[in-house]
Chains A and B, each alone.
Chain A
Amino acid sequence: MANVLEVRNLKAYYLMNYFGVQREVRAVDDITMSIGRNEVYGIAGESSSGKTSFIKVLAAAIRPPLRVVGGSATYDFGGGIEVDVTAARDEDIEAIRWRHLSYIMQGSMSVLNPLRRVGKIFEDFASRPLGLSGPAFRQVVVDHLGRLKLPPSVLNAYPHELSGGMRQRVTIGLATVCKPQFIIADEPTTALDVVVQKDVLSLIKSLQVEMGSSIVFVTHDMSVHANIADRIGIIYAGRLVEEGPTRQMFTAPRHPYTAHLVASLPRIGDMARRPALEGRPPSLAAPPQGCRFHPRCPLAVEKCKTEVPPLATIGPGHRTACWRADDVRPLVGAEAAVHA
Chain B
Amino acid sequence: MSMLLEVRDVSKVFHTGGLLAPQAVHAVSHVDFAISADKPEIFTIIGESGSGKTTLARMILGLEQPSSGTIAFDGKSLAQASGGERLKFMAAVQPVFQNPFEAFNPLKKVDRYLESTARRFLGLKHKAAMATAMDEALQKVGLSLAEVQGRFSHELSGGQLQRVAIARALIPNPRLLIADEPVSMVDASLRMAIVNLLRSLRDDFGVSVIYITHDLATAYYISDRLIIMQKGKVVETGPARVVLDAPEHAYSRLLRSAVLDTADAGDGNLRTDPELAALAARVASQTGRLEARADGRSVRVY
Contact = CB atoms under 8 A, between A and B. Distances in A.
Interface of A: 44, 46-47, 164, 193-199, 201-202, 205, 220-230, 245-247, 249-251, 257, 260-262, 264-269, 271, 273-278, 280-281
B158 A223 contact: no
B260 interface: yes
Contacts of A225: 265
B58 interface: no
Contact of A264 (B48, B192, B214): B192
B270 A46 contact: no
Contacts of A205: 268, 270
Contacts of A198: 258, 260, 270, 272
Given A202-B270, A250-B266, A268-B216, 15 more contacts: A194-B216, A196-B48, A226-B262, A229-B266, A257-B189, A264-B188, A266-B220, A268-B244, A268-B256, A269-B245, A273-B196, A274-B195, A277-B190, A277-B192, A281-B157
Given A46-B188, A195-B277, A228 B268 contact: yes
Contacts of B266: 226, 229-230, 245-247, 250
Interface string B208-232: 0000001111101100000000000
Contacts, number: 137
A222 B245 CA distance: 22
Contact of A268 (B159, B214, B217, B271): B217
A273 B195 CA distance: 11
B265 A47 contact: no
Given A46-B187, A47-B187, A265 B159 contact: no
The 7 closest A-B pairs by CB, nearest first: A247-B266, A202-B270, A246-B266, A276-B193, A226-B265, A250-B265, A46-B187
Nearest to A248: B266
Contacts of B245: 268-269
B27 to A, nearest CB: 16
B192 A195 contact: no
Interface of B: 48-49, 157-160, 187-193, 195-196, 214-218, 220-221, 241, 244-245, 254-256, 258-272, 277
B189 A260 contact: yes
A228 B270 CA distance: 8
A230 B265 CA distance: 9
A224 B261 contact: no
A224 B190 CA distance: 17
B279 to A, nearest CB: 13
20 contacts: A46-B187, A47-B187, A195-B48, A195-B254, A201-B260, A205-B270, A226-B261, A226-B265, A227-B261, A227-B267, A228-B270, A246-B266, A249-B265, A264-B188, A266-B192, A267-B217, A267-B220, A268-B259, A275-B192, A276-B192
A250 B262 contact: yes
B242 to A, nearest CB: 12
Contacts of B216: 194, 268
Contacts of A262: 262
Nearest to A219: B188
